[in-house]
Structure 1
Amino acid sequence: MDAGVANREGSFPKLAWLTRDDMREIDRVMVEDLGISLVQMMENAGRHLATVARAHLLGGDVAGRRVLILTGTGGNGGGGLVAARRLHAWGANVRVVVAAPRARYAGVPREQIQIVGRLGIDVVSDPVDVEGYDLVIDALVGYSLNGRLRGRVEELARWGNQQSAPILSLDVPSGLDASTGETPGEAIDPSVTMTLAMPKAGLVDRTKVGRLFLADIGVPPDTYQRVLGREVAQPFTHSDLVEVW
């Protein structure tokens, strides 16, 4: 196994499987009460996403590999944009597809897309003019989805599923309900999912999420106790990136 990734299957401590509402409140506590910024969490998420891509889907070497990143307008898309920067810096040939006009990207995701543009990374609205990607990264929609994908996001998810390249999903496969695991419409079918902080309750079906990795974004243990009302085992004692299965 790649250095920096601990395989704890069989001896993995009992995890808290979080609902959408649980994670929303954890994010609120992190930002509003503790002053841990969205930028910090997004940078952690994107760095881990790039690491999983390199180690487990690109054979340990990204030089010259063609990576397409599908990005939504929210925090999930922002994490994908951080991964784009990392993979670009490591030598990958990265292309970013935006799910909406750039003017609709606001706050931290807007800042991330501006940085990506300054670095000369190709940012387009349509992925179909280039073929032969080695990896597609799904950073369209995260845990906040309630209902089915619609519009351009749905179209991009369908396009992603039609590609021969493996797909890596950030946090939750786009189109899958983070709380229930239901997929009421089009949903990304990933080879690998990398979820953040703690696994989401809807990720229990391996056929819908593929291999599952868990990445540390810096949530303090007592935050889980505060939100969930119980103590939660710490899975990151050996590594900040662990394999659940």
Structure 2
Amino acid sequence: MSADWLGSLVSINCGATLGVYQGEVTSVDQASQTISLRQPFHNGIKCPVPEVTFSAMDIKELKILEIPNGVCRNSSSQGVPTDPCPASSGFSGRSTGAAGCGGPSSSAPMAVPRKASAVGRAVSQATPKKNGVKNGGGGPMKVKDDECFGDGMDPGLDTDFDFEGNLALFDKAAVFSQIDTSERRGNGARSRGTPGERTPSRYRHDENILEAEPIVYRQITVPQQGGKEYCTDSGLVVPSIPYELHKRLLSVAERHGLTLERRLEMTGVCASQMALTLLGGPNRLTPKNVHQRPAVALLCGPHVQGAQGISCGRHLANHEVEVILFLPNFVKMLESLTNELTLFGKTGGKQVSSIKDLPETPVDLVINCLDCHENAFLRDQPWYRAAADWANQNRAPVLSIDPPVSGQEQAVEAKWSLSLGLPLPLAESAGRVYLCDIGVPRQVFQEVGVSYHSPFGCKFVIPLHSA
């Protein structure tokens, strides 16, 4: 009859050394006098092993917590015979309650007293239901969740939240009336502090809320005015300087190490960057648009301005722009001009010496570097007049690099002009003026009497507006 006790929940006291075990009876072996429990708990803590087997000689006391038919039994060993009925259970260990003679079908089962042991209560609360199934199933993970969180769920959590009822409690008119009252007390600004606290004025999204020193818009002062002033997009005043001061500035810069080669490279980079923007920038120069490469005609003379233009053409050619360089054949040329021509020849750009070899159809951009600051007699040369006529008849826009001052009327009307360092007083035919940073240090400006703070910010080429 040992099979009658399978599935019962019992508590086994093995003395002070082994402690107390609780679990579900899985087997009772009459021959070996052993009993096995599955999902055992040891002193209230779940055992890491799924099953534990006990010998009768180790058991000091056995209590039945629950039997398969749902009748709970728990009693002390007082008044219970110590010799069980072998014909009933076949187990000779010391037992109490229904583990004695009579078995589960006894006509007079022992009633369960309300004061069960603390261990018995702990096990009955923490032990999962039979077969690990609870609340409709769920498997091992569900069993672990039940062991962790228990059965004491708040029934109120199953009630749906009444959003409409909660929203009805919000009095929108009263809240907005309170906000308007607070704003009137704060003279138009929303008050977020105490009622008597003075609130700051409102700020736009593009205004700085931190108090700062007033901006000084005239940060560049020159000893000699060029007769014209410009301003940047941010309002900084950039005065023009006469050509004599500009020439002295470049001479001092070269003495400090800013050589002509460095200035040529810097000018070429900045001018080519501006030209690339005028040609369309990323909208035009893309790998998918290789069949429509922009074409630029570069008109240069035998001087430093011509060398600056060739440097610009070299950088444009390196950026996959089709560059056609016009430079007449001269018996003697500057060394810097010769060096720039040699580098330009490595890019694959086209060089011509006759106007007849220039494109007959309009190009995307004409870069004018024909003029010189000092030698005005070049304008009387046939090649100069022919190149100027071609540029004026070609319907492409013109960019002039480092054009001369307004005293010398320009033969080619430009749409944009690029000045270096500080602007010269250019004529109206120069078009819109841009300023290029060629890397002149502040100490060099100070040495020629110019109080200088850079107006460029994060850029190397900035537009200038007539003040």
Please indicate the TM-score interval, normalised by the length of the shorter structure.
0.7 to 0.9
TM-score of the two chains, using structure 2 as the length reference? 0.45
CA distances 1:63-121 after superposition (whole Å, capped 9, x unpaired): 611111001111111111111111111111111000x3154322111100112123332
Q: Partners in 1 of 2:302 and 2:330 — Cα distance?
A: 9
Q: Partners in 2 of 1:188 and 1:19 — Cα distance?
A: 22
Alignment check: 8 A CA contact 2:355 2:386 kept: no
Q: Partners in 1 of 2:441 and 2:377 — Cα distance?
A: 30
- Residue 262 of structure 2 corresponds to 40
Alignment check: 8 A CA contact 1:17 1:200 kept: yes
SS at match of 1:15: strand
- Residue 413 of structure 2 corresponds to 189
Q: Partners in 1 of 2:233 and 2:312 — Cα distance?
A: 30
Instruction: Give, in angstroms, the shift of residue 183 of structure 1.
Output: 3.8
Alignment check: 8 A CA contact 2:249 2:445 kept: yes
Choose from 433, 437, 442 the match for 1:221.
442
Alignment check: 8 A CA contact 2:365 2:398 kept: yes
Alignment check: 8 A CA contact 2:232 2:462 kept: no
- Residue 113 of structure 1 corresponds to 341
- Are the structure 2 counterparts of residues 146 and 29 from structure 1 closer, same or farther at C-alpha, using a change threshold of 3 Å? farther
Choose from 293, 308, 314 the match for 1:85.
314
Choose from 295, 315, 331 the match for 1:66.
295
Q: Partners in 1 of 2:313 and 2:241 — Cα distance?
A: 27
Q: Partners in 2 of 1:122 and 1:153 — Cα distance?
A: 19
Alignment check: 8 A CA contact 1:73 1:106 kept: yes
Instruction: Give, in angstroms, the shift of residue 145 of structure 1.
Output: 4.6
**Amino acid across the alignment from 2:366:** V
Uncovered stretches (5+) of structure 2, i.e. residues with no partner: 1-230
**Amino acid across the alignment from 1:171:** D
**Residue 212 of structure 1 pairs with residue 433 of structure 2:** yes
Moved over 6 A (4+): none
What RMSD, in angstroms, separates the aligned Cα atoms of the two structures?
Answer: 2.1
Q: Partners in 2 of 1:199 and 1:36 — Cα distance?
A: 19
| Aligned residue-pair number | 224
**Amino acid across the alignment from 1:241:** V
- Residue 164 of structure 1 corresponds to 395
SS at match of 2:417: strand
Q: Partners in 1 of 2:459 and 2:374 — Cα distance?
A: 27
Alignment check: 8 A CA contact 2:307 2:340 kept: yes
Task: After superposing the two structures, state which structure 1 stretch, 16-25 or 150-159, moved more.
Answer: 150-159
- Are the structure 2 counterparts of residues 138 and 240 from structure 1 closer, same or farther at C-alpha, using a change threshold of 3 Å? same
**Residue 131 of structure 1 pairs with residue 360 of structure 2:** yes
Q: Partners in 2 of 1:46 and 1:34 — Cα distance?
A: 21
Q: Partners in 1 of 2:440 and 2:257 — Cα distance?
A: 12
SS at match of 1:195: strand
**Residue 122 of structure 1 pairs with residue 350 of structure 2:** yes
Alignment check: 8 A CA contact 1:213 1:243 kept: yes
- Residue 304 of structure 2 corresponds to 75
SS at match of 2:354: coil
- Residue 459 of structure 2 corresponds to 239
- Are the structure 2 counterparts of residues 79 and 88 from structure 1 closer, same or farther at C-alpha, using a change threshold of 3 Å? same
Instruction: Give, in angstroms, the shift of residue 16 of structure 1.
Output: 3.2
**Amino acid across the alignment from 1:97:** F
Q: Partners in 2 of 1:144 and 1:195 — Cα distance?
A: 16
Q: Partners in 2 of 1:243 and 1:128 — Cα distance?
A: 35
- Residue 104 of structure 1 corresponds to 332
Alignment check: 8 A CA contact 1:192 1:212 kept: yes
Instruction: Give, in angstroms, the shift of residue 44 of structure 1.
Output: 0.8
Q: Partners in 2 of 1:238 and 1:155 — Cα distance?
A: 40
Uncovered stretches (5+) of structure 1, i.e. residues with no partner: 1-7
Query: What is the identity percentage for the equivalent residue pairs of Structure 1 and Structure 2?
Result: 25
Choose from 153, 158, 181 the match for 2:384.
153
User: Bigger relative contact order, structure 1 or 2, given CA contacts below 8 A and separation 6+?
Assistant: 1
**Amino acid across the alignment from 1:37:** T
- Are the structure 2 counterparts of residues 120 and 103 from structure 1 closer, same or farther at C-alpha, using a change threshold of 3 Å? farther
Alignment check: 8 A CA contact 1:72 1:140 kept: yes
Q: Partners in 2 of 1:230 and 1:137 — Cα distance?
A: 31
